[in-house]
Structure 1
Amino acid sequence: MSAVEQKINETVKFFESKEVDRLEKLVRFVTTKLEKALAEHQILARVSSRVKSSQSLRGKLDKWAETPDKEPELHLEPQEILHKVNDLAAARVMTYTEKDRDAVAELVRENFACPGGFEIPFDLERKEESPRIKSNDQNHYRATHMMVAANESDCVGEFSNLGNDKCELQITSLLAHVWNEIEHDTVYKNLTGELSVLEHEAIDSLGNLTKTGDSVIKSLLRARQGREDKQQLDLSEESARFATAEELSEFLSKHFGPKVNGQEMDYAAGGRELLFCLRAVNWHHPRDITGQFAPRFLLDARKETLRLKRFLEKSQRSRPTLDAASCDLFIVAVIIKKHEALAREMRDVHSNRREKAILGVFEERSVNGEK
């Protein structure tokens, strides 16, 4: 066994006995903190994490042994060698959309510390902007890579021994993650020789599909947000509908003031009957009141109310009572605008109900052609 092989064995054993438990604690800490930050900022994403397996570590060190500029590092002590392996602990944030990658990177800056030894803060790199990937039209790898560490203030309690550790973080969209993983397993981990033209074309096609899929997901989320906004608006509008005659009377008073067309109003009188009529035609929202009862129309409704009152007096009838200075004015206004709909809704209402009686007088006067 060569000296390098012996060192690799020592390093893997040291990793298994001294590093794994602490690094598992680190990735748990990183995952929990990321999920909390994403939830607080309402960014749709999934977080996964892992500690490098002994087999994967051995494979990486074997490749170092075959690489001239990395082989000298295998003559260091096991702990020093492991310190140079950046992905012993790794986490991945998979966003629903590409646009959230930068937002996640900003959250990472706010919630984690930058490990020492890197020229660029957090060693941040958008991989698709590297010359190696930009120069290859068939390389669709899209991910933001960062290195993170626990803040000093977080290194307390069970996490007190994490101060010297670092974690590799990859930020990618869900669909880009699919391509990244398949390409990595097919190309990077290929053990059966060169890929065929068909395999290269399939991987390229999949990469193009994931980019199209990003747009589809963005449209889907936008449509879902629109639907949820509408549902929230509907709930808000439903809660704003008049629940009692008192609420209705108070709104009428605030909206129209003490007078309508110069006439002092008693908005409490007839409020119950008016609310029944408004509900019957689905006009019991403040928006409906402001939209349906313009002052000019209410003037016409007042004239009709007075005609109905004269019609009752001519017929020597005392019921139903009618008062144009009360909510009766609005009842008549509803009857004028929504006569047929109101009549249908009141078909099974008992005739002794006052609002049904007012509707009956309106219909009777119209049949008789009274002016």
Structure 2
Amino acid sequence: MIDIVADFIRSYRRQYDFYRTAAQLCAQRCEQLLENNGVRAMVTFRAKRPDRLEDKLRKRNEKKKYTSVDDIYDDIVDLAGVRAALYFPADRPVIDRLFREEFNLIGDPKKFPDGSPPRHPYEKRFSGYWATHYRVTLRDDGAPAQVRYADARIEIQVASVLMHAWSEVEHDLVYKPLSGDLSEDELAVLDELNGLVLAGEIALERLQRAMEARVARSGAKFSNHYELAAFLIEAVKKSGADGEPILGRVDVLHRFLQRIGMDTPEKVSPKLAGLLPHGEGKTISEQIVDGIVDSDAEALRIYRQEYAGALARTLQGGGTTTTSVVGGEDFISFMSCWTDLMNILQEAATGAVPRMSKNISQAQSLASYLVEKNILNSIQAIRLMQLDKLRRLFVHGSPNSIDLTAARQGVEQFIEELRSCDQADIRAAVERADAQKTKMLLARSRMKQVASPPSRSVATKAT
């Protein structure tokens, strides 16, 4: 008689390294993803042990009645597994969005408790295991060494650190007993521990809120990007905006703010006005960066350095250099033209409503406002938003020289149209922007002269 389970285990032993490597690659992506977005978690991975798996399959086979090895592969979905143990349970919605963007999901995530009947007669007082399981495959990133793992099914289990610890104990004792079934007293103790864990999760959520409030009140610098992430989440929530905020690369933002001396709640808060959870397809981090670098070439240079460094670390020496990412003279030339354009439009907006704040950093909002005031027409507004989309790709990506040149020419053409416009308010805006630029260049020139040490004349001793 054919032993289907034995055949499967022989096949699985040969493929064990494949599943373990697939789980490791998935765990690495999870760890990087969570760290970049300021989510505190411990990520582990494993492939199922063949000996334990065989015991499980023989028990399941009593009901399943497997007819082929493929039946078992279809039944066991977690041969490769990853576990994300969250410090703060309230981060689950953030995790859900990140995983949906990063991985190919197989079906809907499975949420626990799922209402299934208990496997033992003891009537529990508490709800048991609280978690979400994602069945995924890795997205093909083009790396030749990873292509063969793109079809591997992987289960990612997401729960709090407390819940994972409890479930590990409960699972091994109740579902994988090595010394007989548990007594009612033992089950009662596990139930009691589950109640303590659920209370602990509430405490963790309170701790997270307290930490966010402390960071917001404190005048001290953000000690790490996790504190910055907590501050940004709280700020977006207080703004009343709908939806879960998409933070983006908070790690890069934190290093950037450190470099430019804006890494405190007080200094970064003015840049948070008008932030949207899903603003124009931009993450919160990108919106903040855009508000800073739009009119500050030096800040832009620093951000590009930090972005390049982060990308190099992610690639782990995969051949991308800092120089290629930063973009060189073509990038600087484009951003200089873009800054000129935005300054003109900002002046036009300020001129339309003299008391209006100049802090309109998002091109879409600015375009809509100027169309409403009949300063720009709808075609110009669309062009502005298209150029802004390119600018965002350049600032937060890796532009090439051809794209940068074409985009710069588009911005220059836009500026020339504004300069030759017959509208008096636009001509006045151009003049004010030109005057501001001239004033700024003169100030920088004076600063360089002051910073340069005076030349010393060398006295020649008479002989």
Q: TM-score, normalised by structure 1?
A: 0.54
SS in 2 for 1:172: strand
Q: Is the 8 A contact 1:27 1:51 kept in 2?
A: yes
TM superposition shift of 1:163? 2.8
Which residue does 1:10 correspond to in 2? Answer: 7
SS in 2 for 1:132: coil
Q: Is the 8 A contact 1:14 1:79 kept in 2?
A: no
Which of the residues 99, 102, 124 maps onto 2:109?
124
TM superposition shift of 1:59? 1.3
- The aligned runs of 1:210-249 (5 Å cut-off) are 210-229=197-216, 230-232=218-220
Distance 1:100 1:236 in 2: 23
Distance 2:100 2:32 in 1: 14
TM superposition shift of 1:104? 1.0
Which residue does 1:205 correspond to in 2? Answer: 192
Q: 1:95 is matched by which residue type in structure 2?
A: L
Which of the residues 167, 171, 174 maps onto 1:180?
167
Q: Is the 8 A contact 1:90 1:168 kept in 2?
A: yes
TM superposition shift of 1:114? 2.3
TM superposition shift of 1:83? 4.3
TM superposition shift of 1:102? 2.5
The runs of 5 or more residues in structure 1 that have no matched partner are 116-120, 240-371
Which of the residues 132, 141, 146 maps onto 2:129?
141
Which residue does 1:61 correspond to in 2? Answer: 57
Q: Is the 8 A contact 1:144 1:172 kept in 2?
A: yes
TM superposition shift of 1:33? 0.9
TM superposition shift of 1:97? 2.0
Distance 2:9 2:93 in 1: 36
CA deviations over 1:102-128 (Å, ceiling 9, x no partner): 32122111100124xxxxx3x312111
The answer to whether the aligner puts 1:161 opposite 2:148 as a matched pair is: yes
- The aligned runs of 1:353-364 (5 Å cut-off) are none
Distance 1:147 1:128 in 2: 17
Q: 1:56 is matched by which residue type in structure 2?
A: R
Which residue does 1:105 correspond to in 2? Answer: 96
Distance 1:195 1:14 in 2: 33
Which residue does 1:309 correspond to in 2? Answer: none
Which residue does 2:272 correspond to in 1? Answer: none
**Distance verdict in 2 for CA 1:3–1:106, change over 3 Å:** same
Distance 1:101 1:219 in 2: 15
CA deviations over 1:236-267 (Å, ceiling 9, x no partner): 5999xxxxxxxxxxxxxxxxxxxxxxxxxxxx
Q: Is the 8 A contact 2:83 2:156 kept in 1?
A: yes
Q: 1:181 is matched by which residue type in structure 2?
A: E
TM superposition shift of 1:8? 2.1
The answer to whether the aligner puts 1:150 opposite 2:138 as a matched pair is: yes
Which residue does 2:34 correspond to in 1? Answer: 38
Q: 2:102 is matched by which residue type in structure 1?
A: N
- Identity over aligned residues, as a percent? 27
Which residue does 1:28 correspond to in 2? Answer: 24
**Distance verdict in 2 for CA 1:61–1:113, change over 3 Å:** same
The runs of 5 or more residues in structure 2 that have no matched partner are 223-262, 268-463
Distance 1:237 1:88 in 2: 45
Distance 1:63 1:104 in 2: 34
Distance 2:147 2:71 in 1: 21
TM superposition shift of 1:214? 1.3
Total equivalences in the alignment? 222
SS in 2 for 1:165: coil
SS in 2 for 1:107: helix
Question: In angstroms, what is the RMSD of aligned CA positions?
Answer: 2.6
The answer to whether the aligner puts 1:48 opposite 2:74 as a matched pair is: no
Q: TM-score, normalised by structure 2?
A: 0.44
**Distance verdict in 2 for CA 1:190–1:25, change over 3 Å:** closer
**Distance verdict in 2 for CA 1:36–1:170, change over 3 Å:** same
SS in 1 for 2:84: strand
Q: Is the 8 A contact 2:124 2:191 kept in 1?
A: no
SS in 1 for 2:100: helix
- The aligned runs of 1:166-315 (5 Å cut-off) are 166-229=153-216, 230-232=218-220
* Higher Rg of the two aligned structures: 1
CA deviations over 1:319-359 (Å, ceiling 9, x no partner): xxxxxxxxxxxxxxxxxxxxxxxxxxxxxxxxxxxxxxxxx
**Distance verdict in 2 for CA 1:197–1:80, change over 3 Å:** closer
